Chain A
Amino acid sequence: MDTSLILVGLVNVITLTNISLILGGTLLGLFVGAMPGLSATMALALLLPLTYNMDPASGLSMLAALYVGASYGGSISAILLRTPGTPSAAATVLDGYPLSQQGQAGRALGVSLFASFVGGLMSGLALLTAAPLLGVVVLEFGPVEMFAIAVLGITIIGSLAQGSMITGLLSGALGLLVSTVGMDFLTGTPRMTFGQINLFSGIEFVVALIGLFSIPQALRLIEKSNGAAKIASKITDRLIPSFRELKQLMPNILRSGCIGIIVGVIPGTGGDTASWFAYNEAKRFAKDKSRFGKGDIAGVAAPESANNAVVGGALIPTIALGIPGSSSTAILLGALMVQGILPGPNLLTDYGDVTYTLIWAVIFANVGLLLVGLMFTKACVSVTKVPDAFVACTIITLCIIGSFAINNSIFDVGLMLGFGLFGYWLSKAGVSPAPMVIGLILGPVMENSFHQSMLIGNHSFAVFLDSPIAIVLLSIAVLSVFQATPLFSWIRTLRRQ
């Protein structure tokens, strides 16, 4: 059954519409990624509404391509402007910008593109291999196991926050709180709806998401729109890297790709972690470490291969278990929910055709990236110069259209703006919205599966100890909580002494 679904997915992707959507999505991702301040997550949140009326396969293909494109696009402004276009391109700045100052911008971009392609392709293939293996055990995941997964996912919240653990947990708790709005699953009575019928089915996840991710960014862009004009380096040399150079860089690119996949699989860590990790490893393996930071091409290849490899890696837990591996994949999960597909283990069975289409789209998008990248990288130079205020207005317009379109509801537009202002305030207070999104997604999963487990287990907590899968997952969750407490670091220092 699995093989046939894999082929169905392949056939779904290879249509004229979907191939052109993949190419278009990659190009758009390239542009958005190249614009400093616009991350892949935000681009996905903004473009999600465009996919409402597409069939699931086309919509997901486009979003996956956008994600892949943006992962590379971030390196363009990192190399030319010394400003990472996306957070995951921060490590690329270190060696990419010196290279462009030495008149080798083309060489740096070419290697970045090729490394992104190889890293992305590796992760796509890893996804294609891993997903069916996980798919076999899918029926083993009932309410009890889903509860364990949700608990594990919630404990990850702390690590998803940049900066303080406390604010991360606060943001996650807010997400859980918001997720309780709506009809009570067990009794059918409305909760926290204040008699407002528009809130009966809960707060539409995507509405909150668009507000939380996009509006604060638009406001921040407006804030700094009076700043100095951006100066980008010119590309003077050729883009296509030589065969000899690629051969030399290959071990580095492959190693970084593996790092990216593994980091991606771990929920809560994303492209930024992976690219720093890969950069450090590249430096450790290099014969001449002194050239790093002064324009070593290996310092461009490593983070770029890794941050594109994160895409496929992060999709593995997203697809197999319904737990997003990063905030970008959380949005892809939202895209599935918009299409009426609930996150969970049945993504690989009941909705296998859609899921495999997504996997193939990731693979094809990487091939598309190579083509689109070669043709349009030079055009991206002008994109990096678009005034911030203009970008901000476009973002807000898209937010309004997007939040209206999901339910044809003006109420949702107001809700989105409310979340936007709240998100802006949160970001001023140094609280990341990413854990809130995880809370929003996992809250209902955790609540519902808990109730279901208790009903199945005759109201006894022992039901969670009957399932080996649940025991393992819950143990990991307990461990990850302890690992974050002072107790753990105290033990570590004791051992060191």
Chain B
Amino acid sequence: MKLLSASVLAVAVATAPIAVHAEYSAGDEITVLQGFKAGGGSDALAQLTQPFLTKLLGVDMVNQYIPGAAGAIAWTRLAKQSKNDGGTVSITNTPMLVTNYIMNDAITYSIDELTPIANVVTDPGIIVVPSDSPFKTVEDLFAAAKKNPGRITVGNSGVGGDDFFSAILVEQAAGVKFQSVPFQGDGPSATAAMGGKIDASFNNLGNVYGFVQSGDLRALAIFTKERVDFLPDVPTLVEKDMNVVAGSSRGYSAPAGIPEKAREELIAAFESLKTNEEFKAIAKERALVLDIVTGDDYLQMMKSMETDYKKIWKEIKSDVAK
């Protein structure tokens, strides 16, 4: 009898990590479609989040990389060709997810065909200038742009990317006009700023943090609601009475119409990450800024982006396509 209870105990202990959490109702495997190559920013999110999700939901998470067309190939597959049984999700990058189809008629999915689950990280937008730039503050930059409309060159990570749109948001909020110069990604845009080839670069905190720390670049303003811990001296635009909050966000979405129970379980798992100290510590270690927004709030976040960027694109479309 004693022996039996010992073995029962052993079994109970061995199965405890699974037994404590409810099994995911939609199966024991989730396929994660990734619209970018292994080793990129989306993959970084997967590496951060998925070990925790695996434990919380008691599932295996299988990454499938389908790079191409700025993520649109994977997202088209998610929206149109994946079963909505809760067994397939995708890492969704905003605003790219919505700007893709706003800008290109040939891309046919839309957020209405998705079930947004949760946003996890947001790399906030930031304005950086070379260390020897005459612009000491963001006001200097705006004053120069007012004086020489369309002559101050600002780099972005590519047409349609978050920096491209955030530069437009800033132009509208500050009532100025820059000359936007697209680069192939945040890195080249930052390098061009460092070399003094452009006056400023609209970039993301995660990409330029090292250069700002080393003094190669100077940060003028960050597009968050409140100042960030990493760079406490850098003002937000909200402080300057400009309502520009933007960045590059990554989260998870499923196809439209997945079982309500599965949706709730997924959302609950992400909600629990908000208070998971171990998770937060690892995110901080990897310089990822957590911004967990789940369920309907995440849908709302996408919806407002869709409205804003549709409006902006309509206004500037003819200028860009010249």
Contacts and interface: CB of A to CB of B under 8 A. Distances in A.
A190 B321 CA distance: 11
A408 B66 contact: yes
Contacts of A468: none
Contacts of A198: 68-69, 73
A193 B106 CA distance: 10
Given A448-B184, A456-B197, A187 B159 contact: yes
A143 interface: yes
A345 B198 CA distance: 16
Contact of A346 (B65, B188, B321): B188
Interface in B163-217: 179-185, 187-188, 191-192, 194-195, 197-198
Given A143-B192, A187-B159, A408-B65, A197 B320 contact: no
Contacts of B251: none
Given A408-B65, A452-B183, A342 B188 contact: yes
A190 B106 contact: yes
Contacts of B184: 185, 342, 448
Interface stretch (A134-142, A392-400, A416-424): A134-142
A465 B321 CA distance: 28
Given A407-B68, A408-B66, A197 B107 contact: yes
Interface stretch (B9-17, B34-42, B118-126, B138-146): B34-42
B66 A344 contact: no
A229 interface: no
A416 to B, nearest CB: 15
A119 B182 CA distance: 43
A455 B153 contact: yes
B116 interface: no
A interface SS class: loop
Interface in A439-455: 448, 451-452, 455
A349 interface: yes
B93 to A, nearest CB: 15
A201 B103 CA distance: 14
A221 to B, nearest CB: 32
B82 interface: no
Interface string A397-427: 0000000000111000000000000000000
Given A142-B195, A195-B106, A456-B181, A189 B321 contact: yes
A247 B22 CA distance: 76
Given A53-B38, A201-B70, A408 B64 contact: yes
Contacts of B70: 183, 200-201
Question: What is the interface residue range for chain B against chain A?
Answer: 35 or more
B235 interface: no
A201 B69 contact: yes
A139 B191 contact: yes
Interface residues of A, number: 37
A448 B157 CA distance: 13
A188 B104 contact: yes
A142 B197 contact: yes
B293 interface: no
A350 interface: yes
A346 B160 contact: no
Given A188-B159, A455-B181, A200 B195 contact: no
Contacts of A231: none
B160 A188 contact: yes
B78 to A, nearest CB: 13
B315 to A, nearest CB: 15
A346 B197 contact: no
B40 A185 contact: no
A340 interface: yes
A185 B67 contact: no
Interface string B309-322: 00000000000110
Interface in A163-199: 183, 185-190, 193, 195, 197-198
Nearest to B66: A408
Contact of B159 (A140, A185, A190, A346): A185
Contacts of A195: 106
A195 B320 CA distance: 21
Contacts of A142: 192, 195, 197-198
Interface string A187-217: 1111001010110110000000000000000
A188 B103 contact: yes
A390 B198 CA distance: 55
Interface string A375-394: 00000000000000000000
A143 B193 CA distance: 11
A197 B179 contact: no
A223 to B, nearest CB: 35
- Interchain residue pairs A-B with the least CB separation, the first 6: A142-B197, A200-B69, A139-B195, A188-B159, A188-B160, A455-B181
Given A139-B194, A346-B187, A456-B198, 15 more contacts: A53-B38, A188-B103, A189-B103, A189-B104, A190-B106, A198-B68, A198-B73, A201-B68, A201-B70, A340-B37, A408-B65, A455-B153, A455-B179, A455-B181, A456-B179
5 contacts: A139-B195, A189-B104, A342-B187, A407-B67, A455-B179
Interface of B: 37-40, 64-70, 72-73, 76, 103-104, 106-107, 151, 153, 158-160, 179-185, 187-188, 191-192, 194-195, 197-198, 320-321
